[in-house]
């Protein structure tokens, strides 16, 4: 991520570019861009202006789904918003996509570090978006002891802000994972049997 930040003069710019590249059909308002990329508003305004000037993104009016609680029910409504979306006619789209989406978004140690405060990690596996496999059920599988859900979610959101895409992930405590492994649980077996990368392994039998 640091190398890309230097290449494009701004790590914030790389985050926003990834957000749009990974979500080519989506339009985002200003608040969502700041939230998903974890970028301060003044910095985001500057980067969006530069990216629009470069022709990578364009403004677009769209309808955003708003969910509100009404008593015990959740009610959906549509709100007209002005935001930005990827301009698919951008001249260097193919080259930019190949560069950003084929480069490892985060180094192995950094991913584990971002999750480490959630508990005592024993096993971390990545697949899906991390290895450019759109057919994978999971992007990440985390196993450990004493995992705190809220802390793990915070770490996941930090990683999502770096790569520009929401992650499909699952987590288990060590004993539950071992039980599922022994029972050939489909989710666990799919993660292990299909293409993936193991970032941390303190529990699997060594071959």
Sequence-separated contacts (24+) of 182-190 with Cβ below 8 Å: 187/137, 187/138, 188/141, 190/137, 190/138
What is the CATH topology of the domain spanning 2-102? Answer: Arc Repressor Mutant, subunit A (1.10.10)
% of the chain surpassing 70 pLDDT: 91
Q: Does residue 69 register a pLDDT over 60? A: yes
pLDDT digits (tens, 9 = 90+) for 170-205: 999 999 999 999 999 999 999 999 999 999 999 876
Q: Does residue 98 register a pLDDT over 80? A: no
Give the residue extent of every domain in the chain.
Answer: 2-102, 108-201
Check residue 134 and report its DSSP letter.
T
Give the Cβ contact number of residue 84 at 10 Å: 24
∠ Cα 2 164 121 (to 5°) = 75
Under 8 Å between Cβ of 63 and 79: yes
Question: What are the tokens at 83?
Answer: 């935001």
State how far the Cα of 165 lies from the Cα of 162, in Å rounded to an integer.
8
pLDDT digits (tens, 9 = 90+) for 134-153: 889 999 999 999 999 999 99
State how far the Cα of 199 lies from the Cα of 154, in Å rounded to an integer.
19
Nearest to 162 by CA among 9, 14, 10: 14
Q: Does residue 5 register a pLDDT over 60? A: no
pLDDT score for 3: 41
pTM: 0.70
């Amino acid at each position: 991520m640091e190398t890309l930040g230097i290449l494009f003069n701004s790590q914030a710019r790389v985050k926003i570019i990834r957000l749009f590249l990974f979500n080519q059909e989506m339009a985002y308002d200003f608040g969502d861009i700041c939230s998903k990329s974890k970028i301060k508003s003044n910095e985001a305004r500057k980067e969006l202006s530069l990216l629009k000037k470069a022709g990578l993104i364009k403004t677009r009016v769209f309808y955003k789904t708003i969910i509100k609680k009404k008593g015990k029910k959740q009610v959906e409504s549509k709100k007209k918003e002005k935001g930005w979306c990827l301009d698919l006619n951008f001249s260097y789209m193919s080259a930019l996509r190949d560069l950003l989406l084929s480069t490892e978004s985060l180094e192995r140690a950094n991913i584990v570090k971002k999750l480490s405060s959630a508990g005592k990690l024993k096993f971390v596996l990545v697949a899906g978006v991390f290895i450019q496999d759109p057919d994978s059920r999971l992007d990440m599988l985390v196993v450990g002891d004493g995992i705190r859900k809220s802390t793990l979610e915070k770490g996941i959101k930090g990683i999502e802000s770096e790569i520009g895409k929401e992650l499909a992930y699952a987590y288990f405590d060590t004993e539950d994972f071992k039980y599922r492994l022994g029972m050939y649980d489909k989710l666990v077996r799919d993660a292990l049997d299909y293409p993936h990368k193991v970032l941390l392994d303190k529990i699997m039998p060594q071959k």
